[in-house]
Every structure is written in C-alpha cells, then in structure tokens.
C-alpha cells in the first residue's frame, strides 16, 4: 500500500449495514438503471428499500422514475470574509490556497473568487492574525421522493458550484438519521461516474460495490480505474457488464481477472429495456419476461445473498 493509499484509508467512516453502492468509472454505462431495477426487485420481494441518488452533479433517478422532488433542504459551504482591521496583508492565505481562489492585489485585502473556492477553510486555519471570518454559500440541496414503496433521497449540486463532497456528506448524515428512526432492509447508493472525491465518499457508505461497465475499450479503461479505487477503499467489487454483446466482452473479463474481481452479471443489450426506459418504467415490472429483466432477477438473487 502506498503512502497516498494509507492517507485515504485512514479516515474511512463506519460502513452502513445491509447496503451496497452502484458505481462506474464511465458515465452512461447504466448505473442508475441497475440501481433502480435492483431497488424495485427488493421491493417486490417485500423488502423496505432506501434508494440514494449520490450522483449530485447530475442526479437522474427521480427523472427515470418520473417522481417529484419534495422537502428541499439547503446545503451550505464555507466562504471566507476578511476583517480589514485584523488583516496584515501578509499573503499566507493566498500562498496556501490550493484552489487558487485568492489573489492579493498590492496594498489591498485578499480578493476571493467565490466560484472557485472549495470551502476547505485552510485560509482560516493558517491566518496568523485571525482575520478570516466565516461566511456561507449555498452549494446544493437534498430532496426526498417516493416511488411505490421505495423511499428516495437525492442530492443536487447548485449550478457553478464544485463542492460535490459536501452534498454526499449531507446525504450520508440523512441516511444515518433515517436508520436511527426507521427500519430499512437495504440501502442502495447510486454514485456519480468517475473516481473523484464525491465518488469516493459515496463508496464509503458500504462494503460492497457494483461497478457497472460496458464492453468497449473506454468501458474497460474506466473499469480498471474504479477497481483500483475500490481496492484502495477496501470495498469489495462485483462487476456488472451492461449491454453485453454490443462489443468485445472479453475486454471486461480481462480487467476483472487483473483485479481478481468477480463478473457477477451480464445484462444483454435489449430493446425492451429501452422501451421501458423511455416510459420511466423499470424493466423488471414493465417487461418482466424480457432478456434484461431475467438478467436483473438473476442479479438480484445474488445481491440479496450478499447483503441480507
């Protein structure tokens, strides 16, 4: 394990029981479709499900299920404000701002570019004259929704904001609060694509992740990256190959072998799935005898055995 991996591993949060994440290195592989159809499969089996849309840059579960957002809660982030009486214009805050959100015009107070500021608060911690005061900005929102008997939590980043991690952290807090007051059989987390900090925080919800990929060179490349991340985070991956048959499935099998990751399911390319998708209907209920629905039911049986 490298020094970087040790630093990442050192702040893992406690994992949630009976939960798993649906993730993927590449956008558009079908993560949300997999998460939704598994959530509905658990529901049809009489289980109480909490579905969390942690793809806060581009949440789409509520769109795919045609449900309305409700109970908006604002998520705020730190923004510095400089005290003219205390600031000595030493420039320490400017030098140490990793986001380069501060500049120091000659003879003036530090100037902030708020759209670039990540809210890390390093300027406040390093200021030798205690001249940095706290302000706050809205970075996004958290919403509720419900689809049949499935409870949904969704985070959404405000336009022109960069603090996806803050929204994911808020989702985590709300999930933990719900688990204290309600009994859920399973929590399913749909992460953003990629391997950035927001994905890392979402993966830390649980011990199990389902990286969803497709049989293309780019799909294989990005699967390699997400499997590296699950290893660093000590999360057990079970790979789902979506749109099996449209390309070279062996590309994905080779990446799985490289990482000793199980290829747990292959979802075939299926026009009936796309018909249901266009109507905002999960294929496991809209076309239960279709090839993709049968594959989802088989996948559900395997996942149920892992998390319950």
Last residue of a domain, one of 101, 119, 138: 138
Can you tell me the distance from the alpha carbon of 125 to that of 93, in angstroms, rounded to the nearest whole number?
9
The range of the structural domain enclosing residue 214 comes to 3-75+140-307
Same-domain check for residues 130 and 181: no
Q: Which helix (H) or strand (E) holds 53?
A: strand 49-54
Can you tell me the distance from the alpha carbon of 63 to that of 16, in angstroms, rounded to the nearest whole number?
26
The DSSP letter of residue 212 is E
Positions of the chain with pLDDT under 70: 1-13
CB contact at 8 A, 252 and 263: yes
Instruction: State the angle between helix axes of 271-278 and 291-307 in degrees (0 to 180), rounded to the nearest 10.
Output: 80
pLDDT given for residue 195 in this prediction: 94
Same-domain check for residues 164 and 132: no
Q: Could you tell me how many helices (H) and strands (E) the chain has, helices first?
A: 12, 11
- The total of structural domains in the chain comes to 2
Q: Which helix (H) or strand (E) holds 36?
A: helix 31-44
Q: What CATH number should be reported for the domain holding residue 161? A: 3.40.50.300
End-to-end CA distance of the chain: 31
Give pLDDT tens digits for 234-264: 999 999 999 999 999 999 999 999 999 999 9
Same-domain check for residues 94 and 128: yes
Same-domain check for residues 243 and 210: yes
Closest CA to 169 of 13, 7, 290: 13
pLDDT given for residue 160 in this prediction: 84
pLDDT given for residue 13 in this prediction: 61
Same-domain check for residues 70 and 52: yes
Give pLDDT tens digits for 264-284: 999 999 999 999 999 999 999
- On the 0-12 / 13-18 / 19+ scale of CB atoms within 10 A, 6 is exposed
Can you tell me the distance from the alpha carbon of 189 to that of 211, in angstroms, rounded to the nearest whole number?
12
Can you tell me the distance from the alpha carbon of 22 to that of 10, in angstroms, rounded to the nearest whole number?
23
pLDDT given for residue 2 in this prediction: 40
Same-domain check for residues 258 and 128: no
Give pLDDT tens digits for 33-43: 999 999 999 99
Q: What CATH number should be reported for the domain holding residue 83? A: 3.30.70.20
């Amino acid at each position: 394990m490298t020094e970087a991996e040790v630093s990442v591993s050192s702040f893992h949060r406690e994992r949630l029981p009976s939960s798993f994440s649906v993730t993927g290195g590449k956008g558009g592989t079908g993560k949300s479709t997999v998460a939704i159809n598994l959530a509905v499969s658990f529901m049809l089996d009489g289980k109480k499900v909490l579905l969390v849309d942690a793809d806060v840059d581009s949440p789409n579960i509520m769109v795919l299920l045609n449900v309305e957002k409700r109970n908006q809660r604002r998520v705020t982030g730190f923004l510095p404000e400089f005290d003219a009486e205390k600031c000595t214009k030493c420039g320490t805050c400017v030098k140490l701002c990793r986001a380069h959100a501060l500049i120091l015009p000659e003879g003036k107070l530090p100037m902030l570019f708020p759209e670039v500021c990540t809210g890390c608060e390093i300027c406040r911690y390093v200021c030798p004259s205690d001249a940095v005061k706290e302000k706050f900005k809205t970075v996004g929102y958290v919403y509720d929704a419900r689809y049949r008997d499935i409870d949904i939590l969704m985070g959404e980043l405000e336009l022109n904001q960069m603090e996806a991690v803050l929204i994911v952290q808020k989702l985590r807090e709300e999930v933990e609060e719900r688990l204290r007051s309600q009994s859920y059989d399973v929590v399913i987390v749909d992460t953003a694509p990629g391997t950035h900090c927001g994905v890392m925080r979402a993966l830390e919800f649980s011990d199990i992740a389902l990286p969803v990929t497709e049989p293309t060179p780019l799909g294989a490349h990005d699967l390699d990256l997400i499997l590296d991340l699950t290893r660093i985070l000590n999360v057990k991956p079970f790979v789902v190959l979506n749109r099996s048959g449209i390309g070279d499935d062996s590309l994905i099998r080779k990446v799985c072998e490289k990482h000793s990751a199980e290829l747990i399911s292959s979802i075939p390319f299926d026009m009936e799935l796309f018909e249901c998708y266009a109507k905002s209907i999960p294929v496991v209920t809209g076309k239960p005898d279709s090839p993709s629905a049968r594959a989802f039911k088989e996948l559900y049986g395997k996942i149920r055995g892992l998390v319950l």
